[in-house]
Amino acid sequence: MPVTRSSAIPLVFVDIEGAFYPSPSGSYWNEDEAGWCRDIVRELLALEVRPSSVAIITFYKEQQRLLSQYAARRGVALHTVDSVQGREMDIVIVLTSRTDVTPTSGAPKG
């Protein structure tokens, strides 16, 4: 799994290989990405990072649904991009879910 780190900004990009799937509503989910996210949250909490300091943000409601019970049990915030505007968190995990770069018309469907 390729990891890109920045020394100037506390930021890490991780390329997750895996398939994404559309839901009937037009949203998307990616189980491999969700599994990676669970692993990272588990590691952060094991390092005694407060759950209230961690947030998971996803572009798609279907990915949010996939992680909702897990996040709730751990006390970690879980939001879609459009519902998190204006909030601040110490550690943010952003899930893009889709792995293609095919242009689409308009904004992604939630």
Structural domain count of the chain: 1
- Mean pLDDT of the region 99-108: 53
Strand partners, 13: 4
40-77 tens-digit pLDDT: 999 999 999 999 999 999 999 999 999 999 999 999 99
Output the average pLDDT for the chain.
Answer: 83
| 44: in domain | yes
Domain containing residue 47: 19-95
- Mean pLDDT of the region 105-110: 49
| 77: in domain | yes
pLDDT of residue 102: 59
| 58: in domain | yes
SS3 assignment for the chain? CCEEEECCCCEEEECCCCCCEECCCCCEECHHHHHHHHHHHHHHHHCCCCHHHEEEEECCHHHHHHHHHHHHHHCCEEEEHHHCCCCCCCEEEEECCCCCCCCCCCCCCC
| 10: in domain | no
Which CATH number do you get for residue 91?
3.40.50.300
| 56: in domain | yes
